[in-house]
Amino acid sequence: MAERPLAGPVRRAVSSEVKPGTYQTTAHLTGGKVIDCYWERSKNGNIVDNNFVTGSVRVTVTIRSSDDTFVSRGCGDWVKA
C-alpha cells in the first residue's frame, strides 16, 4: 500500500506522524508550481534546516530520523520521492 501524501500546511512529529526519508512537493505532477513555500526540520525546538522557496516546479526535503518535527506552509502536498 502506498503512503498517503502529507497534506499541507503540515506540522508533523517525525517517526510517529511522518517517516524519515526524502519527500517532494506534488505541484509538478499536475503542471503546477510551488510559490512561497516554507519548510523546516527541527530537533528539541531548534531548527536544524529550513528553506523559503519563492517559486519552483518542485521542492525536495530529506527528513532525518534525528529530526523530531517537520513543518511546512504554502508548499502544498508532499509525497515520498
Query: pLDDT (tens digit, 9 = 90+) per residue, 32-48?
Result: 899 999 999 999 999 99
The amino acid present at 2, given as its one-letter code, is A
pLDDT-derived band at 2, boundaries 50, 70, 90: very low
List the beta bridge partners of residue 69: 13, 42
pLDDT reading at 53 higher than 90 = yes
Cα–Cα distance for residue pair 45/40, rounded to 1 Å: 11
Average confidence (pLDDT) over 3-32: 76
Residue 20 vs residue 3, higher pLDDT: 20
Measured distance CA(6)–CA(10) in Å, rounded: 7
**Residue 61 contacts residue 41 (beta carbons within 8 Å):** yes
Strand partners, 50: 40
* pLDDT at residue 36, as a whole number: 93
Rounded mean pLDDT, 34-63: 94
